[in-house]
Amino acid sequence: MKDLLCGLVMSHGIGMLLIPVKDTVVVNDRWGKECRCKHGGYYSCNDRFFPGTLQHHKWEDNDTVDKYSWGYRRTMRFDDTQPLSYLISRLVIVIATGGNYLVNIGPDANGRILPIFEERLRDLGSFVNTHSEAIFATKPWIYQNDSATWYTSQVRNNATLDPYRLYNNQTQANTIIYAFALQWPDDNLVNLTHVIPTSNTTVNLFSTKGFIQLPWTQPFALGGGIQVNISSISLVLFPCKEAFAFKIEYAADQNAPSGLDTSSTVPSAVPPTTASNGGTTNNSSTSSAQNNPGSSPSTQAQNSTTSVPKSAIKINSGLVSFSIILFYVLKIVF
């Protein structure tokens, strides 16, 4: 099916447009009937696809700021928009589980963006700018989360590593861990139970003024993890109050959890979450909060079958019309 469809597209000249950028552009799975979550450089499956666990294939969450529409609605109310806390948590969890996050807004007929949409995008952009090191060019870590704290990671040297790996293994010398806390703890103590320290371990907090180094302790109750006290930190040092993040270096070597599955399978399709007048979209692109605490890749795959550019947040404005036109062009051709 995949080869046949590709051949048809190429034979009619449409696919020729992709040849010059074949190494930097990927194609999603919205080719036609029974293709979603089966074929494509990355899977978008249904709108708002949000598995919440590490997937075997590169994937994307197509989301929209208006809870009930992908386009402009004159009747939209303030309460119909997603709050900043939702957008940030969604972004963090998607990246921690190896996906891309696409955020859609609907401009009006004159191409103007509503002030509420502009506010959401600016605030989300401010969060991304402050934490860009922990977002762009990262991969999931061997553990995805500690309850409401989610992990991403980078390596200092990837010359000998598999470029198609889904996550970074933990080595003291090479791995940098990033921990996003999506809730401010009532006791001002952040527990990172999966981070095993060494005498060289450092913890730095991202802020609008740069990094702030914080001391850590190793309470017996955590069973080897670390605890970070943030009681001395002022909220004015953060771009928003919805989330904050740590950069953790020189943690101890760790093996990936036992029972690691290195096979490649298709992620389960998650039904789209739509409201009364919600719908689906045919967006294309270039580039979960329901996860169990402490989830890991123990039931996931380390090796992927595709390579996609760095984890990214993308703003999708006004692409629906283009996608619909492209859809009908392909329909006519076939």
SS3 322: helix
Which structure tokens are listed for 115? 């002030």
Q: What is the mean pLDDT of residues 10-32?
A: 71
* Cα separation, 334 vs 331, whole angstroms: 5
Predicted local confidence at residue 322, as pLDDT: 36
At 272-297, the pLDDT tens digits run: 344 333 333 333 333 333 333 344 44
Q: Is 220 exposed, middle or buried (0-12, 13-18, 19+ CB in 10 A)?
A: exposed
Residue 263 has a CB neighbour count (10 Å cut-off) of 8
Distances (CA, A) of 105 to 166, 238, 292, 317: 30, 25, 31, 5
Predicted local confidence at residue 181, as pLDDT: 96
| Domain coordinates in residue numbering, the chain | 49-334
Q: Which stretch of 48-62, 172-186, 187-201, 252-266 has the lowest confidence by average pLDDT?
A: 252-266
pTM for this entry: 0.75
User: What is the b/e burial string over 84-104, where b = at least 16 CB atoms within 10 angstroms of the residue's CB?
Assistant: bebbbbbbbbbbbbbbbbbbb
Cβ atoms 44, 35 nearer than 8 A: no
Q: How wide is the angle at C-alpha 279 spanned by C-alphas 277 and 283, nearest 5°?
A: 145
Q: Are strands 216-217 and 226-229 parallel, antiparallel or unpaired?
A: antiparallel
Q: What is the mean pLDDT of residues 191-216?
A: 96
